[in-house]
Structure formats: structure tokens, C-alpha cells
Structure 1
Amino acid sequence: MADILLSPTNFWFSVALIAVFFVFILELISVFFGVSMLGLNDDIGDIDSNGFLSSAFANFLNLNKVPFLIWLVIFLTLFGLAGLIINGLTPVQLPQLLSITLAIAIGILITRKCAVFIAALLPSSETSAINNDDFIGAVAEITIGRASRGNPAEAKFTDSFSQPHFVLVEPFEKEELFAQGERVILVQKSEYSWLATRYQ
């Protein structure tokens, strides 16, 4: 086995498998310290066409399906194994460039499929963050102060994720007044506060 791995024709395939082994060891060490390397560069699939990978090519590789390090480990493993199998099964020794090219092609094609399968197994994360546009139409209750135009008061509302938000509100109509405990509807963001109308 050592003779096969150390053979000059299998040099790059052996390097790939050794790299996977070292990543495995580093991951074990990092997990021991409470962190994980597997999420590093997990947004590489979103690189635009001005980067070293176009978004279309990244999508083809399914780089956006799983964290990049997971994708890379899968590819290196398949590349290394495919190269060893190609060199082991062919009756004549193939040129190294040809065997590497075949191993890359096989590795990429199988890695694409594996990425989809692994993505289905990974837990998906759903963010509870919302932006200012999502505040429009929210029903808030005046909690502190009395709101008039130019004199905002604090109000509170709860979003669809059951997260409370505290905002400063003032009436949309200049003559309107909002007392503590009243409910209002947020309609427009101003520079420092939200303009609101009374909740009927």
C-alpha cells in the first residue's frame, strides 16, 4: 500500500488524501477547543463574476449548497481515490496529466452530487433578523412618553419571530397626539423616528 501511495505517478493523489487526513486532525483539535473549521468560507458560492469563480460556475459545482471546507474535503477525497483507482486499473501507465485530468473530472462530478445529498442532511438556519422595511405596517404600543410631531415617544412591537422591538414614533399627522398605552401603526421611517397613525 505504501508503495502505491509513494509512487511518482500517484504523487498528487496521495497529496490530496494526506491533505484530507490533516484537515480531519485539525478539525478534531478545533472541536476540542469548542470551534469548528467546517464553516470557514461557507459563502464562497456567492462570489460574483468579478471574483476568481463566477457565480454560475460556483452554482454548477454546488459550492453554495454546503460550507466550502466540506466541499473541498469531499472533492480531495474523491480526486485522490479516483486517481489511485485509475492508475491501479489501467493495464498501461497513463500520462500523469491525463490521469490527473480524469480524476479531477470524476471528483467534480461526484462531489456535485454529494454536496446536494449532504446539504439535505445539514441543519438549515433561519434568521430572525428583519430590516426597516419590515417594520412598516407593524402595530406598536406607546410605552414611554407622549408623542407629538417633532417630539417622539418610545413604542414597542413584536415581530413574526416573537422578537420585541423598541422604536421612537411620532404622529404622521401634525396635529395628532399619542398618549402612553395607545396603539399605533408604523407607516414611514424618518431620519430619527417612525411616523405612525392611530390604530383603529
Structure 2
Amino acid sequence: MERDEVDFLLLSDNLPFSLAIAFVVLLGIVEGISMVLGVSLFGLLDDLSPIDLDADVDTGVTGITGVVGWLCLDRLPLLIWLVLMLTSFAIAGFSINYIALIVYSSLPVIISLPIALLFTALSCRFLGAKLASLLPKNESSAISVDELSGLVGVITVGCARRGFPSEAAVRDGFNQKHYVLVEPEFEAFEFPKGTQVVLLQRVGKVWSAAKIND
């Protein structure tokens, strides 16, 4: 690596992006060591990840469901998603500052950081979706959405009313967390955030649910 390239990487304005690349390298080293020891960081992070999304993010879903789904965090193994996110962030930041340096001077972090984060989000959305379509699916602990019937969930966002579903988090028998949309079975009821409910029947993307009595 030439001196000018090293100086560019060590610019104070490039510190967040240099740290992102350093963390990617660290992840690679830790993964290599863990595989030698017989424990894959790739698999460990994937097992610890609580995210499994069942709502269709293209139907205006908000909250955790919408953000997680839009960023493809639910469709990629966590380690791959982290590498994609950090690498995209670093490349975007270095590119922004390199162009700015040619024109005039590198941008301060307060300006380059939001721009890099925007490009990172777009990369996770579109490159993440492409990667997800290429990766083999692991169905060993997967269950169908309809198998969530009878399981207990907790309202995580808003207040669910009949015709106005809200998000709920549900854990299946494999301890995987699913985010689903629920509404009360009857119009007379409503479920504020934190209410424990049992899933009854799914119509489209929305589950009817009943409150669990305290």
C-alpha cells in the first residue's frame, strides 16, 4: 500500500470508516480461529439472532417489522449481514471523502457520516436482497407461519384494535422470534403495548388474537 493511500485511510475524517473495515477484518480473524476450534462464529451469531420476520414489509408495515424487513436483516445470516453493512458503510465513506478530497477537501464526519449511512441502508436493502436470493436456505428449524397458531405473543408497537392491527413478537418451539401483525378477535377489545395475547387464526398477513388473562 502506497504512502498516500495510508495517509488517506488515517485521516481523522475517515476514522469511522477505517474502524468499520478493521471490524470486518477482526470478524474474519475470529471466525477463522473459531472454526479451527470447531465452533463457527457464523453459526453462533445466527443461532443467537432473535429475528425471524413473517409480515410482508411491502404492505406498509411499520415498527421493528418494517425496518428489519426493509434492511433484509431477516433474510441473511447475521454475520453476513454485518459484513455487508460494515463494508458498505466503509466503501461509501471512503468514496465520499476521496471525491471530496479531489474537489477540495475531505468532508467532516458530521457531513460524511449521514451520507454514508444512507448509502449503507440502500446497500443492505438491494444487495442484501440479491445475496439472500443466492444463499441456500436452512430449513432445519424453520416452521410455517400457520404453525404459530396457539402460541403466545406480546404486543410491541402501538395499540391493536379490530381493523387496526399492531405488531407482536412471538417465540416458536425453536426459540426463534417472529414479528407478526395481530388484532383482537372481537371489536370490543383492544391490546395496548405489552399485552400478552394468544394467536388464533391468520387471515392474509393478520392474526386474530385473544388476550391472556392476568
Shorter-chain TM band: 0.5 to 0.7
Following TM superposition, by how much is the alpha carbon of 1:25 offset from its aligned partner in structure 2, in angstroms?
A: 0.7
Q: Is residue 2:21 matched to residue 1:17?
A: yes
- The correspondence for 2:80, drawn from 70, 84, 94, is 70
Give per-residue Cα distances to partners, 1:90-128, cap 9 Å, x unaligned: 123323111011111111101222222222222212348
Q: Is residue 2:66 matched to residue 1:56?
A: yes
Q: TM-score, length-normalised on structure 2?
A: 0.53
What SS does structure 1 have at the residue aligned with 2:41?
coil
**Could you tell me which residue of structure 2 aligns to residue 86 of structure 1?**
96
Following TM superposition, by how much is the alpha carbon of 1:16 offset from its aligned partner in structure 2, in angstroms?
A: 0.4
CA distance 1:99–1:47, change in 2 (3 Å): farther
CA distance 1:3–1:56, change in 2 (3 Å): same
**Could you tell me which residue of structure 2 aligns to residue 141 of structure 1?**
none
Structure 1 Cα separation of the partners of residues 98 and 31 of structure 2: 31
Q: Is residue 2:129 matched to residue 1:116?
A: yes
Q: Is residue 2:7 matched to residue 1:3?
A: yes
Verify the 8 A CA contact 1:10 1:83 in the aligned structure 2.
yes
Identity within the alignment, %: 37
Structure 2 Cα separation of the partners of residues 68 and 58 of structure 1: 12
The structure whose RCO (Cα within 8 Å, separation 6+) is larger is: 2
CA distance 1:79–1:129, change in 2 (3 Å): closer
- The correspondence for 1:99, drawn from 105, 112, 116, is 112
Which blocks of at least 5 consecutive residues in structure 2 are unaligned? 56-62, 148-214
* Higher gyration radius (CA): 1
**Could you tell me which residue of structure 1 aligns to residue 182 of structure 2?**
none
Which blocks of at least 5 consecutive residues in structure 1 are unaligned? 135-200
Q: Structure 1 counterpart of 2:6, which letter?
A: A
Q: TM-score, length-normalised on structure 1?
A: 0.57
Verify the 8 A CA contact 1:79 1:107 in the aligned structure 2.
yes
Structure 1 Cα separation of the partners of residues 88 and 82 of structure 2: 10
**Could you tell me which residue of structure 2 aligns to residue 44 of structure 1?**
51
Following TM superposition, by how much is the alpha carbon of 1:70 offset from its aligned partner in structure 2, in angstroms?
A: 1.2
Following TM superposition, by how much is the alpha carbon of 1:45 offset from its aligned partner in structure 2, in angstroms?
A: 5.0
**Could you tell me which residue of structure 1 aligns to residue 139 of structure 2?**
126
CA distance 1:128–1:65, change in 2 (3 Å): closer
